[in-house]
Amino acid sequence: MDEAGQREQAFSLACAVWVAIFAARLNGQRVGLGLAILVGLIAAYGFALKHYFVLVPITLELWLILKKRKDWRPFRPEVVTLAFSAVVYTVSILALVPHYLTEIVPLTAASYQGFRDFGDQPMLVAISKIIGLCSIAFIPFTLVILNRKAAPFEPLALGLCWVAVVCAFNVCIQAKGWGYHYMPIKAVIILAALALVLHKPSAQPETNIRFSRLVAGTLILGNVVIPGLKTWTFVHENAPFPEGSPTRIVQQMLEKSPRDSTVAVLSSDPGNAFYRPFKQEKAIYSRYFSLWMLPQLHADKSVNGQAILQDVQTKITQDLMCSFPDMILIETTAGYNSDLRSAQFIVTDPLAILKPQAAFQNWMDQNYKEGPRPGNSIRAWFRTDSATPIKPTTCRKA
């Protein structure tokens, strides 16, 4: 559930519609102007969310060029719509949110490598993890070979399988190994299996058809129905995390707090820092949905790293003082700060990193009192009855 709303879901939808129109073009089928433009708009949204995602339309277009050769037409409605949307997207960023390029991109470049999952593992372990999670893709590849005589089906099936390969490559170059990075692989493979179940080939041995549909149906059952049941259990139990875990403690503290209260969770875990307070309508206003950047920045002693850290410290403390929450939960996290060359186990205490800000320390001392410790890695501060808002003049309106 914590992976709901990721960019990969929109990307999976973009892949589905783009491969469908790619297969139609490869087969020489006519596609209506309105439909082609709609596909271009849906694909533009999905492909724009990460720069890695553009590999899908680029590689499929190269495939189309190789197949069509002299008959290839670059100015198709969906391609023109996609290109036009890319230009509008770029201009919009420059005009409306230039700080994305001047602040967020440098911040990400300086701190995101602290979340490198594969960097602190031997390469063979990383490769085996990728192969293990992507092995689902081998089934449709086999089925496509069995059904290779069904010409109208081939471009759609092969196209979806090829997108799965590109998505697996994206997992490698992102080098994180997080669960939602694999979502598009599973999504397009399930679509390929579904297409195989629904397709009625005209020139296929009956045995191949039955076998392929049986395997594809099992694949869909295992990857749609079972996760669906797990999601249903997650939603209805409402307590899927082990008792005593940081996430469960945060959840319990939020549930105990008054209905109209606001709670700040200072944590490098976005699930604890943003998702859970937001779900209970108790989240504070903040420019950063979590302190994901602190582990790497705190360990980075370079001039650039320390300058970015100071800027982040100032903004986080300003947002806290402006929001003036009823309760502040602080999670001390432990993990690896790593790059391609080394890995160092570090412990991140957000309060210790923020307290050097003199104004913030005075504000905390005057307005908050630490309560009983709810867990080993969680501490709680409660606003005192005599607390007086001391809002900086730089408070922003949300």
Does residue 105 carry a pLDDT above 50?
yes
Count CA within 13 A, CB hemisphere, residue 212: 27
pLDDT in tens, 34-66: 999 999 999 999 999 999 999 999 999 999 999
Tell me, what's the pLDDT at 98? 93
Q: What is the DSSP letter of 283?
A: B
Does residue 10 carry a pLDDT above 60?
yes
Q: Contact, 366 vs 293, CB < 8 A?
A: no
Write down the mean pLDDT value for the chain: 79
Does residue 187 carry a pLDDT above 80?
yes
Tell me, what's the pLDDT at 139? 65
Tally Cβ neighbours within 10 Å of residue 333: 19
219: closest CA among 179, 195, 189?
189
Residue located via tokens 């007086």: 388
Model confidence at 343, in pLDDT bands (50, 70, 90)? very low
Beta strand residue intervals within 332-393, DSSP E:
333-338, 343-348, 368-370, 378-383
Q: What is the DSSP letter of 271?
A: I
Share of the chain above pLDDT 90, in %: 24
For residue 186, the SS3 value is helix
Tell me, what's the pLDDT at 200? 57
Judged by average pLDDT, the poorest of 12-21, 29-38, 158-167, 185-194 is 185-194
Does residue 103 carry a pLDDT above 80?
yes
Spatial distance between the Cα atoms of 180 and 93, rounded to a whole number of angstroms: 26
Kindly give, in sequence order, each residue whose CB lies less than 8 Å from that of residue 376, ignoring residues fewer than 6 positions away: none
Among 41-55, 143-157, 303-317, 382-396, name the most confident range: 41-55
Q: Contact, 370 vs 316, CB < 8 A?
A: no
Q: What are phi and psi of 347, to 5 degrees?
A: -115, 130
Radius of gyration, CA atoms only, the chain: 25
- Strand-strand pairing, 327-331 and 263-266: parallel
- Strand-strand pairing, 368-370 and 343-348: unpaired
Q: What are phi and psi of 75, to 5 degrees?
A: -90, 60
Model confidence at 152, in pLDDT bands (50, 70, 90)? very low
Residue predicted with more confidence, 338 or 279: 279
Judged by average pLDDT, the poorest of 72-76, 147-151, 286-290 is 147-151
Residue predicted with more confidence, 117 or 36: 36
For residue 281, the SS3 value is coil
Q: What is the DSSP letter of 395?
A: P
pLDDT in tens, 230-258: 555 555 455 567 777 888 888 888 888 99
Spatial distance between the Cα atoms of 322 and 330, rounded to a whole number of angstroms: 18
pTM for the model stands at 0.75
Q: Contact, 157 vs 140, CB < 8 A?
A: yes
Count CA within 13 A, CB hemisphere, residue 229: 5
